[in-house]
Amino acid sequence: MNLTQQRFLGFQNTPFLWNNELLGLEQFKITDFSQSIDVKIEDSTRLGNYIERLVSYQLQQQKNIQIIDENIQIIHNKIILGEIDSILFKDNQPIHLEVAYKFYLYDPTVGTRFLEHWIGPNRRDSLLLKLNKIREKQFPLIYTQVCRHLLESLNLEANCIQQCTYFKAQLFIPYKQHIDFPFLNQECLTGYYIYKNQLNDFQNCKFYLPKKLDWIISPHERVDWLNFDKTKIRIQEFHNKKSAPLCWVKQANGEILKLFVVWWEK
């Protein structure tokens, strides 16, 4: 199975981050999934753009969906106000769709509310910030004067367009801890994260550090595994750049865990 196919299946098997609605954001769901992909996506593509290509392919396979336009930059006075991921028709209903695929770690020391505790692996973003960006910046784009001309060219009116998210995620919690999941989909729990000083707990394991595009792949045996000592060196190289690598960790019993090894301390 080639890498594009592995990534497509990994993406497809990732659950939606919530069911129905969260903070007024409605999920756009489809249930008729393709099992293979026959388009070429360059490995130089950033993960966010790669996901958009996978979603676009998936939508194109649906008989009741027609994509009108994608990746539409809204520009005013040479300033980019934002980008609309997709405008489509589903059963003749016009929809503005915003796509997201995220990796979040649960850190109770960040923020005061549950949704604030979910942060990016390098602490530079958070779930609540992303949700607010969609609600307060991306969704309002269709009501701007600049966008009105675009919609008129498509014979659409902003007030007739339904706005939805296509938001999938992998969630990681502190190692050996249990976290309840109010609001979010429990099935998104993918693995754990550990601090550098916990790495010694895995001395008898083998490791694989996938590149970022392969973070969406479901772990499997057919990779070049590293021993513990070589892994420590690789991880330190990431930490020197304040970057948290994702690791596949093969335990003695053959079970494979997904772990982030974070660069910050407790």
- Give, for all 266 residues of the chain, the pLDDT tens digit: 789 999 999 999 999 999 989 999 999 988 777 878 988 899 999 999 999 999 999 999 998 999 999 999 988 888 888 999 999 999 999 999 999 999 999 999 998 889 999 999 999 899 999 999 999 999 999 999 889 888 998 899 999 999 999 999 999 999 989 998 889 999 999 999 999 999 999 999 999 999 999 999 999 999 999 999 999 999 999 999 999 999 999 999 999 999 999 999 87
Examine the domain organization and report whether 227 and 137 are in the same domain.
no
State whether 129 and 234 are in the same domain: no
Q: Do residues 182 and 203 share a domain?
A: no
31/141 same-domain check:
yes
Write out the residue range of the structural domain in which residue 219 sits: 192-262
Question: At which of 188, 216, 242 does a domain end?
Answer: 188
Residue 27 burial (CB count, 10 A):
17
Count of domains for the chain: 2
Q: Are residue 132 and residue 199 in the same domain, yes or no?
A: no
Q: Which of 188, 219, 245 is the last residue of a domain?
A: 188
Q: Are residues 80 and 202 in the same domain?
A: no
| Packing angle, helices 3-13 and 47-60, rounded to 10 | 80
Query: pTM for this one?
Result: 0.94
- 114 in the same domain as 41: yes
- Whether residues 38 and 142 fall in one domain: yes
Based on the domain organization, do 128 and 204 belong to the same domain? no
Report the alpha-carbon distance of residue 9 to residue 3 in Å, rounded. 10
9's CB contacts (< 8 A; 6+ apart) are: 35, 218
